[in-house]
Amino acid sequence: MPETNADTIYDVAVIGGGPAGYTAAIRGAEYGLKVALIDASPRLGGTCLHVGCIPTKALLFNAEIWDHLKHAEEYGIAGIGTPSLDWSAVLKRKDSIITRHVKGLEFLMKKNKIAVIPGYAKLTGAAKDGVHTVDVTASGASSQVKAKNVILASGSEAKLLPGLKADDRILTNIEILSMTQPPKSLVIIGAGAVGAEFGSIFRSFGTEVTILEFLPRVVPVEDEEISKELTRVFKKRGIDINTGAKVEKVEKTESGVKVTFTDANGKPQVKEAEKVLVAVGRAPLTVNVGVEKTRIELDRGFVKVNEAQETAEPGIFAIGDIVAGLPQLAHVGAMCGMVAVAKIAGRNFRPVRRDRIPGCTYTEPQIGSAGLTEAQAKEKGDEVKVGKFPFAGNSKATIVGSHDGFVKIVSDAKYGEILGVHIIGPQATELIAEAVAVMELEGTVEEMMFTIHAHPTLSEAMLDAYGAVEGMAINA
């Protein structure tokens, strides 16, 4: 633990120890700043580590293995009999992954001499003589932390529909992660990344899954063709998808829940299930953190910042899920944190660009996308050229038994600059990294058509998709 007392003036006090806050704290310390990290939870890691990215991906990995086991004989693995699912072991493994990474964070805090201060923090207003004061309450006792700069990284929480309260049948991302058994049936309200991932997980484990989405398509932020392909594969997997569905009422029955909705044709429908998951988005945690005592400007609860993550209150920065105009993703929050501390330390930085953010949905099949969709590029007035290559033509996809999906490249017709890449299929969440790097370097289709991709790999589907832009894919 670094030397610290009530008179310590930190260079930076970070409020919130999720991926945005802890990344800012570590990078700040690496720059040589004196950093305090305040978190209301006794365990660092935030939503991402405890009830978000990490536990869901742990369950998705279990689901993937389970799906492979169902086809064991196809892979020449005989004699394993009928496999059974030990759900408590599944949960135990998930929890042990979380605990390991909480310990990892504790180690990193010590290594970087970051003062971790437990407690609930509130801003108190503008800086006095260049020093901000943050009120911290822990176990009923109050104290104050003083810092030249403050970074607010308080994160978000699941939104519920009006009148609903989460419990053991009406679930958010928190309750669903500690169910004692996978439910026999599950209605999911919302088909964004969170709803789609839980649908994919529990369908693999045999749950009867119904998805209700208000908008006309699932994963609505993705390219339209991606939504179509996910719908096709989800339906093939036996998931009941209802788009254009307006949920009217969620009621508890004797044994489960009853969801009343109006379907896309305006007809009233009722769906009963053991549980319902509400996955309709996340609200920023900017209430009750003292924002009103500052000049910080909010947009529907989200904090407005400039390209250095500075709020309208000098010396106060905002990062992560609370920031206006950016997607609520762990890697976005982390990068915002790195930008903020670079600015504080007087170092060079590159602002976070919305069109350079990988968006990943870890469903089966996976989705990885970055940059403009075809429709967005056309709306911008760009003359657009598109190339598409199906995984059915890729030899590694055959080897791993995963032929659904495709790679789609959106490029600028005049110069060949790559404007967007949209992948649905095996390892899409890994493959997208290449696309982000290429776009960051303003790479062109021609440059990528002559970039050697190893054989046999899934990344060859990228090479073929660049070729497809010029009508010259090799394997299709």
Ligand X SMILES: Cc1cc2nc3c(=O)[nH]c(=O)nc-3n(C[C@H](O)[C@H](O)[C@H](O)COP(=O)(O)OP(=O)(O)OC[C@H]3O[C@@H](n4cnc5c(N)ncnc54)[C@H](O)[C@@H]3O)c2cc1C
In the complex with ligand X, the residue whose CB is nearer, 430 or 446, is 430
Q: Give the tokens for residue 151.
A: 């970074």
At closest approach, how far in Å is the CB of 368 from ligand X? Answer: 11
CA gap 222, 288 in Å, rounded: 34
Q: Are 173 and 51 in contact (CB under 8 A)?
A: yes
The residues carrying an active-site annotation are 455
For ligand X, the closer of residues 121 and 462 by Cβ is 121
Token pair for 345: 């330390």
Q: Based on CB atoms, which residue is closest to ligand X, 20 or 114?
A: 20
* Cα gap 460→454, rounded to integer Å: 7
Amino acid making up residue 164? L
Shortest distance (Å) from residue 367 CB to ligand X: 11
- The CA–CA distances, whole Å, from 40 to 35, 112, 140, 288, 337 equal 17, 21, 12, 13, 19
Nearer to ligand X, 329 or 409 (CB): 329
State the minimum distance, in angstroms, from the CB of residue 194 to ligand X. Answer: 5
Dist. CA 185–CA 256, nearest whole Å: 9
Q: Which residues bind ligand X (CB under 6 A)?
A: 15-21, 38-41, 46-48, 52-53, 56-57, 120-121, 153-156, 173, 194, 285, 289, 320-321, 328-331, 333, 362
CB of 377 to ligand X, least distance (A): 24
Residue 162: CB atoms within 10 A of its CB come to: 5
Joined tokens for residue 399: 């080897």
DSSP assignment string, 102-154: HHHHHHHHHHTT-EEEESEEEE-SS-BTTBEEEEEEETTEEEEEEEEEEEE--
Rounded to an integer, what distance in angstroms lies between the CA atom of residue 62 and that of residue 96?
Answer: 14
Residue whose CB is less far from ligand X, 72 or 164: 164
The residue (of 411 and 429) whose beta carbon lies closer to ligand X is 429
Could you give the CA distance from residue 399 to residue 435 in angstroms, rounded to a whole number?
23
Find where tokens 């990528």 sit: 448
For β-strands 316-318 and 141-152, DSSP reports them as: parallel
Q: How far is the CB of 192 from ligand X (least distance, A)?
A: 10
**E strands in 159-245:** 170-171, 185-189, 208-213, 240-243
Least CB distance from residue 120 to ligand X, whole Å? Answer: 5
Residue closer to ligand X, measured from CB, 194 or 410: 194
Of 61 and 120, which has the nearer Cβ to ligand X?
A: 120
What's 87's DSSP letter?
Answer: H
Residue 235 Cβ vs ligand X, minimum distance, rounded to whole Å:
23
At closest approach, how far in Å is the CB of 88 from ligand X?
21
- Helices (H) then strands (E): counts for the chain: 12, 24
Burial 267-303 (b: 16+ CB within 10 A, else e): eeeebebbbbbbbbebbbbbeebbbeebebebeeebb
Contacts of residue 441, Cβ cutoff 8 Å, sequence gap at least 6: none
Whichever of 16 and 425 has its CB closer to ligand X, that residue is: 16
For residue 209 the two structure tokens come to 């899954």
Beta carbons within 8 Å of 450's beta carbon, 6+ residues apart: none
Question: Least CB distance from residue 105 to ligand X, whole Å?
Answer: 11
**Which residue is listed with tokens 């997208």?**
432
